[in-house]
Amino acid sequence: MQARAILRYYKGSAQKVRLVADTVRGEGVVRALAILKVTHKRCARDLEKLVRSAVANLEQKSPGIDSGKLVLATIQVDQGPSLKRFKAASMGRVFPRLHKYCHVTVRVADREE
């Protein structure tokens, strides 16, 4: 049995979120939540909430499932849109600033699958 949770338009670059996602990819849910709890990156807290949401979706789909036997099947980080803003500079110039976003998808499955 599988379930997924999607976080769209997360304010942070996909490259930075992938650093944290790579540390928990393929781990068990309990171990992944423990790793995310002690990670000192800004996106770790939001990824922890996303993993908990995927587990809740699976428990809603099939009640009575043991959450200790669940594993993160996939965790995928895709680039989202970039907001293009400009900052005023001296002598009438401007400097572009990109506010990057990303989309994160987490799939949780049984260990047997």
Domain harbouring 24, CATH code: 3.90.470.10
pLDDT tens for residues 8-53? 999 999 999 999 999 999 999 999 999 999 999 999 999 999 999 9
% of the chain residues with pLDDT over 70: 98
Number of domains making up the chain: 1
Read off the pLDDT of each residue in 76-93 and give the average, rounded to a whole number: 95
- For tokens 């997924």, name the residue: 4
- Tokens 């995928």 identify what position? 76
Q: How many CB atoms lie within 10 A of CB 60?
A: 10
Please tell me the predicted confidence (pLDDT) of residue 56: 94
d(CA 13, CA 16): 6
C-beta separation of 46 from 7 below 8 A: yes
Q: Which residues contact 2 (CB under 8 A, 6 or more apart)?
A: 58, 73, 107, 108, 109, 113
51: its two tokens = 């993993």
Q: Are 69 and 111 in contact (CB under 8 A)?
A: yes
Which pTM value belongs to this model?
A: 0.89
Confidence check: pLDDT of 113 > 70: no
Instruction: Give the residue numbers spanning the domain of 49.
Output: 2-110
Q: What is the pLDDT of residue 66?
A: 85
